[in-house]
Structure 1
Amino acid sequence: MPAALDKRTYRSPLLHQILHGGGGVALNLLRHGARDDGAQFFDNSALNQSVIFKYPRFEYELENDSEVDYATQNKWLSICRPIETAIYVPQMLEAPERGGYAIYMRQRNYPDLIREHIGIEIDDVLSPSNADIVKLKIIDEIPSLDPFLLKATFDQYKIAIPPVFLRLAREEEVIIKTMITQRIMPVVGRALDLGPTEIRDKCEKFVQAIWNPGLPEASLFTEALRLERRQAGPVFIAWKGITFYQMQFERGLEKIRDILHWLGTREAVPYDMHLHMIHRDQHEMFKATVERKLRNAVSKVKQVLHNYDFAYRTLVDGNDPLPFRDFLVTANARYWVLGYCCMCMNHCRNIFDRSLSRSNHGMLSFAQFGQLLSNMDTVLNSQTALDYRINP
């Protein structure tokens, strides 16, 4: 990429994240199309030349998670989710960094924009008949575009996705099944009074039921936790999602700690600060604000996972299933909170790595540092306007 284009692209935080945000943030079908012959995610050629992306959107502050009534928040989040799903349509396929259009699936004129830029007529937004629009609607039901979540959700709808778009999904699926199995084993053993070998066999069937709620073991599990049968599908999807984000959070936490540590070191001072002393206090305040917001995102995830562990321990150690049952019933709200926070942290890791790759021996100029903070603040503030046209 020419240097001039790279510099211009770097000034657009949204476009930067669409094109370079990583697998959980963006499903870059342009990149897949250039690399993988014959693999098509959609039937429509315009969609296969786009980038599907997720972006934090709504202000969602949980300063004290213990004060949140998830029973009511669950319904609110299903309508006003803190994450937007959008389609980026570049003006020039050979140079997507030059800008294009973002079609947000929850904006009022979504059907009109799909017709204009994609060429599909949407007959019913809530219950579309077009197979590609159905796929988009399913994608909108998950907080991020990680291969595991894509696979788990599309499997639930019995829709096959080409394996090339789901790299690492099976490896992650094995890890998550293992994590859920470890949670289930003590519960199954106590409830059914089984020996170690029988517990393992029975647990495998219970875990299979979480991936396929139609199996008989699913009804045994929902009855044991006093769940309604119709709740099984959404609860199991959210449980898998929470476990996935727990794994993702634990994998990425060290990098976030490195970023927070770096912000407090001498390297986190622009090497040309002496030329910008008039703005020094403003710069330091901005840096402190971004650091606080990033710490808050980490804190939100830890609080949800703490509640998860507390409910589980109450079930296993205290023989009281109600807290764990209540956690699962309202898991969808927590699923979206975890997805939102993990996505913010994912964005921040990508922004930080790309910024430091342009550093001068690990230090940034005043302008580069300001761009780093601005990009991270845009993500963590989650109040980015839904601009239809995206310019570099």
Structure 2
Amino acid sequence: MSDRAIRNLEHLRRSASTARVLNLLKVSDDHGHTDEWSEKPMFQTPSLNTSLIIKHRLRRNETDSFPGRRQVATKLVLPIDTADLKTGGRFVFVNQIGFERVMLEAFGLPAEHHDIRTLRLMDQLPSLDPFLLREQLRRGGVDAAPCYFAISEADLAKMSAFVEREIEPLVTLSIGKGVDATQSSARMASKILSNTPGDRLEALRMTLRLEPEQYQEGVFCWKGFLYYKWSLNSMMQDIVKVADEVASVSPWGPVDASSREYIKRGRGVLRSNIMQTCEKVSQTLKYYDQAYAGLTQRGDPLAFRDFLLEAPTLFTRLGDQLGAIQHIVSFWRFRFNANSPPVQVDELIDIFMDFETGLMGRNFDDLAAEFPV
């Protein structure tokens, strides 16, 4: 492991979980003494419960490690010494070729083990955003303690209120105009957010003529769209602020000519890429808005049916884009707050390279042609 990789690992230890990184080592440091951490662990294997799990954009020499074509993988990093990350770490990609053999040889875990299933549930998500990660694990029967998910009660309340407002037109369509839909919207929002079945949700499935599995997967991704829409709205001021700070940040200490040129170029490119990615997220969300308006305003359920069928693919696209933005904002807050030490040139270059890699456009040409937004 290179010096720069070691420095990155040390930063990950100190920083909280983000949409790209699940820092179980920090969760263990902060909550390992509590009953909830020990009684409801995310993983049953102790070493996995102090690991770092990263949504990693694959390099060209890594793509052959997988049986199919993919750009982002779930990377499981196990520090050699959790007290001293300078010793580096071992890693494996979830679902890489030979993954089951590696997990059996390294941890004695058979393919059907709870922890293998948990890792595969994580691998199905486009990002490790705590809200969606919690919902995905619950959907898969994994009931991990709240300390593993950095979600405040205030944010949960705001998210619930946002979902209620979003689905009120659908509830009004169901119960008729002129009737107060507030309580009905709250109940339906609760069912959507908790994956709880209900008569009104079943009626919607029948209206859309979807099979139960298609509908369940579509509704989960619909919930993801609602969450991402709320996230983008609530983060927009911070995104613009971070983008402006990126454009003006300078390293501390001496800077050679080549580093100065890279940072000068990187400021402008990175800021532009951040804002362009936000625009792509907005365009993907507009596709959902149009389909939902067709159902609730024009009485045309076919567009929303098509959206639910396409939602898993679009959800991956959206999560990849917004996850990269969320990671940048979260890490920037951590590294460039008032109490942080000055950033030196090598570290700033590392940060720029990491951010640029995360924002690197996936090839969505085929998707754009099939699902115009």
- Indicate whether the TM-score tops 0.5: yes
Pick closer, same or farther for the CA change 1:81–1:169 going to 2, 3 Å. farther
Q: Which aligned pairs between 1:176-325 and structure 2 lie closer than 5 A?
A: 176-193=159-176, 195-197=178-180, 199-210=181-192, 211-212=194-195, 214-264=197-247, 267-268=248-249, 276-277=256-257, 281=261, 283-325=263-305
How big is the shift at 1:80? 5.0
Q: Please state how far the C-alpha of 1:105 moved relative to its aligned partner.
A: 0.4
Tell me, yes or no, if structure 1 residue 32 matches structure 2 residue 27: yes
Task: Tell me the CA shift for residue 178 of structure 1.
Answer: 2.7
Alpha-carbon offset, residue 277 of structure 1: 4.6
Task: Kindly tell me the number of residue pairs found equivalent between the two proteins.
Answer: 347
Distance 1:98 1:309 in 2: 49
How far apart are the structure 2 equivalents of 1:366 and 1:163? 38
Cα deviation for residue 10 of structure 1 reads 7.2
1:340 deviates by 0.9
Matches within 5 A, 1:163-178: 163-168=146-151, 171-178=154-161
Distance 1:279 1:215, change over 3 A: closer
Comparing both chains, which one has the higher relative contact order based on Cα–Cα distances under 8 Å and sequence gaps of 6 or more? 1
Q: Are the counterparts in 2 of residues 17 and 347 from structure 1 also a CA contact under 8 Å?
A: no
Q: In the superposition, relative to structure 1, how do residues 230 and 242 fare at CA in structure 2: closer, same or farther (>3 Å)? A: same
Distance 1:83 1:158, change over 3 A: same
TM (norm. structure 1) is 0.75
The CA distance in 2 between the partners of 1:369 and 1:358, in whole Å, is: 17
Amino acid at match of 2:357: T
Give the direction of change, closer, same or farther, for the CA distance of 1:209–1:81 in structure 2 (3 Å limit): farther
Matches within 5 A, 1:90-105: 90-105=79-94
Q: Is this contact kept in 2: 1:272–1:365, CA < 8 A?
A: yes
Partner SS state of residue 117, structure 2: helix
* Structure 2 equivalent of residue 347 of structure 1: 327
What's the counterpart of residue 85 of structure 1? 74
Normalising to structure 2: TM-score of the pair? 0.78
CA displacement at 1:179 relative to structure 2: 2.3
Structure 1 contact 151–169 (Cα < 8 Å) conserved: no
Q: Which amino acid aligns with 1:348?
A: I
Q: Measure, in 2, the Cα distance between the counterparts of 1:25 and 1:278.
A: 30
Equivalent pair of 2:18/2:326 in contact (CA under 8 Å)? no
Q: State whether residues 33 and 49 of structure 1, in contact with CA within 8 Å, keep that contact through their aligned partners in structure 2.
A: yes
Structure 2 SS opposite 1:330: helix
User: Following superposition, which runs of at least 4 residues in structure 1 exceed 6 angstroms of deviation?
Assistant: 358-362
2:82 maps to a residue whose letter is: L
Does structure 2 retain, via aligned residues, the 8 Å contact 1:55–1:83?
Answer: yes
CA contact (8 A) 2:19 2:128 kept: yes
Contact conserved, 1:21 with 1:347, CA < 8 A, in 2? no
CA distance in 2, matches of 1:227, 1:91: 49
Structure 2: stretches of 5+ with no match in the other structure: 61-67, 363-373
- Residue 94 to residue 279, structure 1, CA distance change in 2 (3 Å): closer
